[in-house]
Structure 1
């Protein structure tokens, strides 16, 4: 039995295990299983390979997308450029890191882009944000990063005003704000300046319509959650594991 799985902590609301269980059933893949491996400390990561002799590949989620890198033997070009890994392929004992978030995000965003989506705000600075930034660079779409505190690489939420919101017609939430069970939370942006020209994209998929998306939709904005992105990145991981 080939074993695949997900590392992160906690993993109480994992998409991947259910998705792959359904995939294996639907496609009559009988020799594979997918398990959650909640590890409370990334330092214990190497022991997983001694405990799971049939491990073929892993997905990586919060909070380990960046700190797992020193434990790997090599990185894909995209993972190296992004500085975050969400997929690990085992290849003759070597652990190779990939980033399929960028594939899932790009392919789910592109059909929604209109000519007036010329600038973006990226809310958050974590591993998922880095994948989004890399994707926007590949799409040649300028962006500004927004964080709780201003820095050389980001502006603060408190500096967002009418002009900035109107100029940046694509707004992407890469933070967990609004994720179940904290469904009443949302990024602190001035929603009153959002209009029909905006596209709001939330990497969160549970609930399907977060407070961030709801407030945008009420202003006439187009909205998209992270569910399709997850499916696309999962399929990209499966291709990497089995190439």
Structure 2
């Protein structure tokens, strides 16, 4: 059972080919990661999946729906958290959740959602007074307020301290445990290894490999003829690029 299907996706910005014949499939109920350095095309892929950008070529289905021609139906089942949560500084946490709840016919219970994301004690706090980790928790809540079948998280933990990052990881795991399919965009090897059932490694707008983290490392281990191979080693073997430099 597939939650997301992408076949032959192409997207160009002027003279730049951002996505080059990319394909991937996301199974229902899994945490699927898109891993690659900044500029690899990860955000463009998920924006096309969410219907926020129109692809130049290729086929996309979200729960067998076309995100362009059936956009309203896709929005009922797909939650999206993009790279940065920007809200009015004087908007309170509970106000933001209630406003977003009004967009859906059957939203999640705002009080339960506040508890689930660990913001019950911050319900009256202004957005400007939230820490980075609290803002990310709020962005997760806003992505989940419509009780989506599928949710996209894009660079959830960028800029967070180690403790806040681990709290967000635990929250993502609880989202999947509730039955929601998670599409996670990241450039963190540790995050991908910790959370993802399967990974698509992206380079220059194309998928260079797709498998479980363990299988990606095992394949690279066999090819390199040594033990203790990391995901970064696997990426380097497939692309010839150092991940940190590419970032």
Normalised to the residue count of structure 2, the TM-score between the two structures is 0.28
Normalised to the residue count of structure 1, the TM-score between the two structures is 0.28
**Structure with greater contact order relative to length (CA < 8 Å, sep ≥ 6):** 2
